[in-house]
Chains A and B, each alone.
Chain A
C-alpha cells in the first residue's frame, strides 16, 4: 500500500504523517511536491496540516489550485482514498471534495488542546479499528476549525450519516462546553458520500507513536491499511 503526502509551501505536519505511514506502519510513502501532476502510483493521498501558501485570502483557498490538488481530485474520482487533516480538511472543503467550510473559531483564539471525540461511524475503512461510539482523544491545533455549512447541507450530512467524528465530553455526551471551536453539530470530521474522502480537524498522526503518550490515532491508519489490503 503506497501513501503520498502532499507538501505545499507552508505545510508543517507532512513529516509527522510520513513518520506514521513509513516508520510505524512500514508502508512505502512518498512526499508529493505541490507542483506534481501524476499521483497514479498512490493508494492513499494525505493532505497534511500547516498553513499552505500562508493561508492567504482564506485557509486552503490557494492550495486548491495547485497541480497536486487537481491530481488529488482525479484520484478521489477514481475512488482513491484521500485524508485531509487540519489545514488539509480546509483544503478539501475549498476544493469541493467535502461540503461546508471551516471558519474562525467561536472564541477567536488559536486552540491547542486535546479534546475528546466520539467516533460516529465504524464501518468506514478509516474507522473500522474503533469500537462503536468509542470516545478517543486527539490533539487539535487550529484558529479556523469551526465547521459551518448551510442548513440544507447540514441536514444532508446528517441524513447520509457523513459525520465521522464529533467533539464530546469524556463520557461521550455532546455539550457546548465540550465543543472547542463552535463547530455546527459538534462536527470534528466528515467524509463524502462514498466514504473515500475524509476530512478532520484533529491530528491522528500526532497521537500514533506510543513515545508521545497517546496512540488513539493509530487505529485510523491501521484500519485504512487493513481495508486496502483486504481489497487487494
Chain B
C-alpha cells in the first residue's frame, strides 16, 4: 500500500488583538506617527504575523491542523483573534 500523497502548503497566519483589549504599544506608535505629521491616523493596532510550511493530504486537512495550532499555541483566544491563508507550494 502506498503512503498517502502529501502536499506542502505555505501558511500565512495573522494574529491580532481582540478589539476589547487595549493596545498601549499601538497607541505609542500612533503618537509617533502624529509627531511625524500624520495627524490623520486614528488608531494603530499591532499584531503578529507567522509564516509556516507544513505537509498535509489536502488543503482542508492543513486548515484543520492550522486551526488547532492557532487555538492552542499561536494565538491566545482570551486576548487574540487569528486568520490564515494557505497556498500549495510547487
Interface residue ranges, A against B (CB under 8 Å): 57-58, 61-62, 65, 93-94, 99-101, 103-108, 148-151, 182
> Residue B1 at the A interface, CB < 8 A?
no
Docked Cα-Cα span, A93 to B73, in Å, equals 13
Given contacts A93-B78, A148-B78, A148-B79, contact A104 B73 (CB under 8 A): no
Q: Check B79–A104 contact: CB distance below 8 A.
A: no
> Residue B28 at the A interface, CB < 8 A?
yes
Q: How far is the CB of A147 from chain B (nearest CB, A)?
A: 11
Residues of B within 8 A of A108 (CB): 24-25, 28
Docked Cα-Cα span, A93 to B76, in Å, equals 10
Given contacts A57-B73, A65-B73, A150-B20, contact A103 B79 (CB under 8 A): yes
Q: Check A94–B24 contact: CB distance below 8 A.
A: no
> Residue B54 at the A interface, CB < 8 A?
no
Q: Can you sample 11 A-B contacts with CB below 8 Å? A: A57-B73, A57-B74, A61-B73, A93-B78, A99-B78, A101-B76, A101-B78, A105-B24, A106-B24, A108-B28, A150-B20
Docked Cα-Cα span, A65 to B69, in Å, equals 12
Considering only CB atoms, which chain B residue lies closest to A99 in the complex?
B78
Considering only CB atoms, which chain A residue lies closest to B28 in the complex?
A108
> Residue B33 at the A interface, CB < 8 A?
no
Q: Check A61–B24 contact: CB distance below 8 A.
A: no
> Residue B21 at the A interface, CB < 8 A?
yes
Docked Cα-Cα span, A138 to B68, in Å, equals 39
Q: Check A107–B24 contact: CB distance below 8 A.
A: yes
> Residue B22 at the A interface, CB < 8 A?
yes
Q: How far is the CB of A149 from chain B (nearest CB, A)?
A: 7
